[in-house]
Structure 1
């Protein structure tokens, strides 16, 4: 059965070691893949996720040591939101105080408790307390007890000048349905999606356009079960919305196409297959540097220029 929702979110970061420390140690996410930017192999591409490296839990980064700060604006992902058990918001508030993580007081959004915070590059993030997820599998080897651990994405919010054209694609191509409105937010969700099933559209006409840099989300990716499902989404985009995607690109762990949606956010459609265990055992994910076949012959040169992570 086709499962819709987010596949991953990819962002831009500053120093790689600082990025790894924050997401691995402070947030307790699993480093599920250590590879390089295929278009810039002198730069890491780090993938963080849950214990199973499941689609809907994957946050990836291009860490550039000297990246200038980005500027949030219209046409960009405003906030990336993780799920935690509803009773864990107090734990995370205390942890953020201890670790010096900039954060806001908890507040309510669509009836759920939200704890907003920022990473060292200023990226906007939040935790949402979700009832009834305590028994879900959790990565508990990062120094955070399983009872409080992050359990994949809740969703993302997009900052747009006009919500309607983006909403049409969410509904027609990706299977989302509007489920509520609150202030300037319009919430879309995929019913039955355990993780990564929420997209909030925040209408903010008149804002400056986004400027990409450290702390910016580069793109968000939606799930396609396989190539056939991806092809159907590409067809619907072209026939119903007049939007053409790139050609399919092999990212080793999934196959992708890209397009700019009407609000100018970069969208990707990524296949669930073959998955992150295609080039290393599932139990050893993230332990060694993995390179695509075309770059393997240059391993020594690549390793020589990559920054030390530990």
Structure 2
């Protein structure tokens, strides 16, 4: 029943084409799946990941055209960390961000590891984190056709930061229900605010950590473009996921029950501060309907949506992807 780490993070974008350009051409991630939102099939759902789309490397985006901007605050997933191999990679990225006019801060240290905070083209808060001093869940492998040299490439998801007004109820979910353990405290960069609590699961390390930030000085977040919709944690397989359904029901935590997302199986629920959590299985994987060498090149639809392909494609704006 122990969670293995971070599975994926899903965010919101207003323009799929601009999103695709930034995450593939600037960040050098691979588009491993071009599909649709299964709950609204006339908008894109894009998945960026490592070379094979391994669990723990996926940063995904739902396209919602004309979506208002995101306003940061409490009850939100406020920062997504992306792993790079070492400190030297951060120096490369610092120069690349200057060359591509990407908004970024200076390199600094957090929880004993060097980081480089930046914002994407829609203002989403992201941070590159060096694996040089990291131990724990293994990273993925950078895409070998990326415009970014492989030795500097993004290898997967790092810690996920949650910002809440009152940390205690979120702590209870993380520890008593999900089985995370407190690893350490890190001083808040904001004067007068509580230390950031760092929790981890499974093998630990960057790929299995949640940073919990308590802020008394912020309003509630307003989710929009550049905001994060939910975070998913890794579950071994479908059998284990069904045990999690039973566990949440026994704890009287409202949840979605078992959901088949085709590329993985899922379960959704909100923790007490309103942040959406997902538990997702490691498989079947993105190569269930496309060979690894051609991931993301064409519109992929789960088998239960395939009969609607003609109608779905007619509503979507064409999106040019790599081949």
- Fold conserved between structures, TM > 0.5: yes
Contact 2:50 2:140 in 1 (8 A): no
Unaligned residue ranges in structure 2 (runs of 5+): 188-194
Q: What is the RMSD of the two structures over their aligned residues, measured on CA atoms? A: 2.0
Partner of 1:82: 82
Contact 2:242 2:258 in 1 (8 A): no
My pick for the range that moved more, 253-262 or 125-134, is 125-134
Contact 1:277 1:285 in 2 (8 A): yes
Partner-residue secondary structure (3-state), 2:73? coil
Partner of 1:14: 14
Contact 2:16 2:63 in 1 (8 A): yes
Cα distance in 2, alignment partners of residues 265 and 160 from structure 1: 9
Cα distance in 1, alignment partners of residues 206 and 286 from structure 2: 18
Partner of 1:198: 209
Distance 1:298 1:254, change over 3 A: same
Residues 181-260 of structure 1 aligned to structure 2 (within 5 Å): 181-183=185-187, 184-193=195-204, 196-240=207-251, 242-260=252-270
Contact 1:57 1:195 in 2 (8 A): no
Partner-residue secondary structure (3-state), 1:171? helix
* Corresponding position: 1:112 with 2:113: yes
Give 2:165's match in structure 1, choosing from 161, 166, 173.
Answer: 161
Cα distance in 2, alignment partners of residues 30 and 290 from structure 1: 15
Partner-residue secondary structure (3-state), 1:214? coil
Q: CA deviation at 1:154?
A: 1.0
Partner of 2:96: 95
Q: CA deviation at 1:226?
A: 1.3
Cα distance in 2, alignment partners of residues 232 and 245 from structure 1: 13
Contact 1:3 1:193 in 2 (8 A): no
Partner of 1:131: 132
Q: CA deviation at 1:223?
A: 1.1
